[in-house]
Amino acid sequence: MAYIQYGRHALRQIIKETNVQQSHDRLMQPLFYACQGIRYRKLDVILTTSIEKLGKAGETVKVAPGYFRNHLMPKLLAVPNIDKFAYLIKEQRKIYQPKEEEVQVVTKNVEDKSKIYEKAAYRLLNGRLVLRRSINVEKFRARSTKDDPIELRSPVTKDEIVAEVARQLCVQIDPENLHLPTPLETFGLFDVQLRMPKSIPLPEGRYNWTLKVKIRGK
């Protein structure tokens, strides 16, 4: 490349110091720019790994010779675009391509599961669970006033609510999804707080997920 550099400076000196005619100058200028084009000609290389702002692995791109010689080639980030290397890169891509596709499928499955969880959360929020229980006769007769709550013969536990949610609302949840410090022991309408993944967005104006549970007599 040194001889091209020398030729370029020689042409510049001739153009600067020699008072040539306009027609002769028009003949010299194309040769001058042709030399510049040879010096800065880019190379076609095949990337072995994806590089930001340059291209993806397996693509053929144009780079400066110095950039390829000093950076890409020593780190095996790219190889010359010749038939031998093109074939090797192609075969390598065939081997590793299934793994990339598998990762994409997993990502898609995660997104699908998030949508399923969100749909289930809204079904619980908008639905109502109805449970029928017998009263505790002894405590019912021992009430001091009619306004005293009517206690159940057997309290409603987390496990019972989970089972009824699956049967009535067709949603599978775990006992850990319910925030119920103590079982429900009286008739009435209760808002049982739900523990849902934080990735599920709450409806506007709400601060938590709840499930309406109605307990009534048989």
pLDDT at 151: 83
- pLDDT score at 211: 95
| Ranges of the chain whose pLDDT falls below 50 | 1-8, 10-15, 18-38, 100-103
Hey, which residues does 179 pair with through a beta bridge?
193
CA pair distance 119, 113, nearest whole angstrom:
10
Q: Which amino acid is at 37?
A: G
**All structural domains of the chain:** 2-92 (3.40.5.10), 115-217 (3.10.430.100)
Of 181, 178, 136, 141, the C-alpha closest to 161 is 178
Contact 48, 78 (CB under 8 A): yes
pLDDT digits (tens, 9 = 90+) for 30-61: 434 434 444 558 888 988 888 888 888 888 89
Residues facing 216 on adjacent strands: 132
pTM more than 0.75:
no
